[in-house]
Structure 1
Amino acid sequence: MTRPFRLLPFLGLALAIGFTGCQSKAPQPKRQPSAAASTKSAALRNMEQVAKAAHRCWFASKDPAFRSYSFANELNNFSGRPRFLLVPHNDYGGRPLLVVQAEGAAGKLDTFGPLLDQPLGNRISGDITRWSSGDQSCASSA
């Protein structure tokens, strides 16, 4: 005759083995982002520089030449082409009148839209060229 208390150690061991089989894997150490993933693309760096200057010089300064337009920032879009738009004032869903975007490894800037064919177009082109070269001044005039 066996005593039931003698089986308790074996029962405990069997339960411990069974529960360890149900446990999830040990947590993996967090990986640090690679240098390539943590750095901004040249296109984004260029567009941030130009967009900040455009907002500061054209809109935050309340420049009357840009009173009829609103600034729509799309630097964080997923197309690989960060950009900003000028749209009719208070109509962010309106047809863009100016698109300034950058793309590629060199971060080449491209501007297009009907506003460039207006009298303000020369000023816009000059400002964008100046800002993309690193000069952040608002020195240009219409």
Structure 2
Amino acid sequence: MFKFHLATALGLSALLFLSSCQSARQPGPGPLTLTSSQSALPTMEMMSQAATACWFKTKNADFRAYKMAAELNSFSGRPRFLLVPVKNPTARPLLVVQAEGNPAKIQVFGPMMGQPVGSKIAHDVKLWAEGQKQCS
């Protein structure tokens, strides 16, 4: 009988451990790949303007801790913008939105896409990839 209770207790402990690991995941859609009807540079110019207007000029609380660094004149053929911490602008980017080609293939990735704000970012970037300029 003791062995049965010990096995049951160990099984429950393992189940609780595994469920706690799963609940530790951050909500968010993860990396995205989209397409636009325009080429990369005009797409990223419009997206960076929309991000500035929607996320920073509105003083959105989700983006107060971040600063945008636009790198639109890219020699790699991948214009992009990055979000970095305001207090450490030389740190590794927490969000990268970049495009390449014609029509543009848009990639959105970085740690912010795994956080709750990632859903807002994904929704906004999808709107902008369709040529819309509004915010979610």
TM above 0.5, yes or no, is yes
Alpha-carbon deviation of 1:92? Answer: 2.2
Is 1:50 the counterpart of 2:47 in the alignment? Answer: yes
Q: Which has the larger radius of gyration?
A: 1
The residue that corresponds to 1:111 in the other structure is 108
SS, match of residue 61 in structure 1: coil
The residue that corresponds to 2:83 in the other structure is 86
Aligned length: 99
Paired with 1:53 and 1:91, the residues of 2 have a C-alpha distance of 23
Q: Is the 8 A contact 1:70 1:91 kept in 2?
A: no
Out of 68, 72, 76, the position equivalent to 1:75 is 72
Q: 2:131 is matched by which residue type in structure 1?
A: G
Paired with 1:82 and 1:133, the residues of 2 have a C-alpha distance of 18
Alpha-carbon deviation of 1:91? Answer: 2.4
Gaps (5+ residues) in structure 2?
1-37
Alpha-carbon deviation of 1:127? Answer: 0.3
Give the root-mean-square deviation of aligned CA atoms. Answer: 1.2
Q: 1:84 is matched by which residue type in structure 2?
A: F
- Segments ≥4 residues shifted beyond 6 Å: none
Question: TM-score, normalising length from structure 2?
Answer: 0.70
Q: 1:56 is matched by which residue type in structure 2?
A: A
Where relative contact order (Cα < 8 A, 6+ residues apart) is larger, the structure is 2
Is 1:96 the counterpart of 2:93 in the alignment? Answer: yes
Out of 53, 60, 76, the position equivalent to 1:63 is 60
SS, match of residue 52 in structure 2: helix
SS, match of residue 88 in structure 2: coil
For residues 22-77 of structure 1, the C-alpha deviation after alignment (integer angstroms, 9 at most, x for no partner) is xxxxxxxxxxxxxxxxxxx8100111111110011001111111001110110112
Question: TM-score, normalising length from structure 1?
Answer: 0.67
